[in-house]
């Protein structure tokens, strides 16, 4: 008994010691401090124990954004409902909460995040937590904390536990000195928003961790993403979503970009498919760790003409927002995604015509149901 007590006392002293005392490792190691938000080892999450299968066990951070919920649906169909955990710091709506495992996860709380990965035996991590362009410019310190410090937490945990990590990037990772038509995978970037700067940082840090520690890091630069499930949030490419809502509601649309402003775009189903495709691609097929992906490129005027095929009476005016126009003018007009198509077989399904038809089919049906109700 004396030996047991001595061992217990020694272990307690080690755990309370402020020094790490860790030996040199091939992965980054942190000394975990006391966190105000901790998940105990016996915490009861809204989830079901994972079945013993060969499927990856997936965590999605920032899962209540535009892409997280749709990605969870896709992955649950592929790998099983209980193998995919959605997480966020916000309370989920009922339809999300009861459709599969959901837990609270704060990417700025390293210990909380680490325990989630360990307790749930996570093998794949999709890191969607980020402050986007407009919000980031309004609160740069918060954007720096979430987009950069949060990323560092994710990278360290992913490397320590040998996760396959996906971090999305954006057309906003390029700047006014980048080649715009087309924009290749490798070129000068130099963005002028904190969101863009943080995404370039993520690309480079992910590649560094891959070469330095062997982290299986994968990244796609998304174009403007169009979906019927989310409301426009005031972003530069959101006019391409707003036009459908306004056309159905009142037959009028005011565009805040010049009529000839060309930007790369993609329907959300293609975006989610590309994300899963690159995660499932054999590592040996990847010649790089960050890829451009694209489906179509159009201007507001080209979109208007396609929309008018469905609503001929649509009235369109242009009231250019100088800030958004300046951002759009610094972004790519076309993405060169030939490397993605060659390396892992990327192929989009939706062109402009199919995109417009699909959006009207979804939003038009929703509008008719609302009118009946």
Q: What DSSP character marks residue 23? A: P
Among candidate residues 104, 110, 128, 195, the one labeled active-site is 195
What number of other Cβ atoms are within 10 A of residue 185's Cβ? 16
Q: Are 263 and 237 in contact (CB under 8 A)?
A: yes
At residue 232, what are phi and psi to the nearest 5 degrees?
-60, 140
Establish whether 208 is a catalytic residue.
no
Strand 252-255 vs strand 84-88: parallel, antiparallel, or unpaired? unpaired
Rg over alpha carbons for the chain, rounded to the nearest Å, is 23
Cα atoms in the Cβ-side hemisphere of radius 13 Å centred on 153: 23
Conformational region of residue 338, where left means phi above 0, alpha means psi within -120 to 50, and beta covers everything else: alpha
In which element (H, E) is residue 217 found? strand 216-222
Q: Are 371 and 330 in contact (CB under 8 A)?
A: no
Q: Are 168 and 224 in contact (CB under 8 A)?
A: no
What number of other Cβ atoms are within 10 A of residue 142's Cβ? 13
Taking CA atoms, 148 is separated from 3, 153, 175, in Å, by 46, 9, 19
Q: Which of 327, 86, 128, 153 is nearest to 222 (CA)?
A: 128
Residues annotated as catalytic (active site), given as ranges: 195
């Amino acid at each position: 008994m004396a030996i047991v007590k001595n061992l217990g006392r020694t272990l307690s002293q080690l755990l309370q010691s402020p020094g790490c005392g860790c030996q040199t490792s091939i992965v980054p190691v942190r000394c975990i401090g006391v966190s105000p938000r901790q998940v105990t080892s016996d915490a009861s999450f809204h989830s079901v124990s994972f079945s013993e299968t060969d499927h990856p066990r997936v965590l999605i951070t920032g899962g209540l954004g535009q892409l997280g919920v749709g990605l969870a649906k896709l992955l649950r169909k592929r790998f099983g409902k209980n193998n995919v955990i959605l997480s966020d710091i916000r309370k989920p709506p009922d339809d999300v909460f009861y459709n599969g495992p959901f837990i609270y996860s704060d990417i700025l709380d390293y210990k909380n995040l680490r325990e989630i990965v360990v307790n749930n035996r996570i093998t794949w991590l999709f890191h969607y937590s980020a402050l986007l362009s407009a919000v980031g410019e309004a609160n740069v310190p918060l954007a720096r904390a979430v987009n950069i410090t949060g990323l560092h937490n994710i990278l360290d945990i992913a490397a320590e536990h040998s996760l396959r990590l996906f971090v999305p990037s954006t057309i906003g990772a390029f700047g006014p000195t980048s080649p715009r038509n087309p924009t290749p995978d490798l070129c000068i970037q130099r963005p002028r928003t904190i969101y863009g700067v943080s995404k370039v940082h993520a690309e480079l840090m992910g590649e560094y961790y891959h070469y330095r520690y062997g982290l299986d890091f994968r990244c796609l630069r998304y174009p403007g993403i169009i979906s019927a499930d989310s409301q426009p949030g005031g972003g530069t490419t959101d006019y391409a979503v707003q036009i459908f809502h306004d056309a159905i509601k009142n037959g009028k649309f005011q565009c805040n970009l010049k009529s000839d402003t060309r930007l790369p775009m993609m329907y959300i189903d293609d975006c989610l498919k590309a994300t899963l495709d690159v995660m499932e691609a054999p590592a040996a097929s990847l010649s790089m760790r960050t890829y451009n992906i694209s489906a179509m490129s159009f201007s507001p005027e080209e979109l208007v003409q396609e929309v008018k095929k469905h609503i001929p009476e649509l009235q369109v005016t242009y009231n250019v927002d100088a800030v958004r126009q300046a951002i759009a003018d610094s972004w790519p007009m076309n993405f060169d995604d030939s490397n993605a198509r060659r390396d892992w077989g990327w192929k989009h399904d939706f062109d402009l015509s199919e995109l417009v038809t699909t959006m009207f089919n979804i939003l038009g049906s929703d509008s008719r149901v609302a009118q009946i109700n």
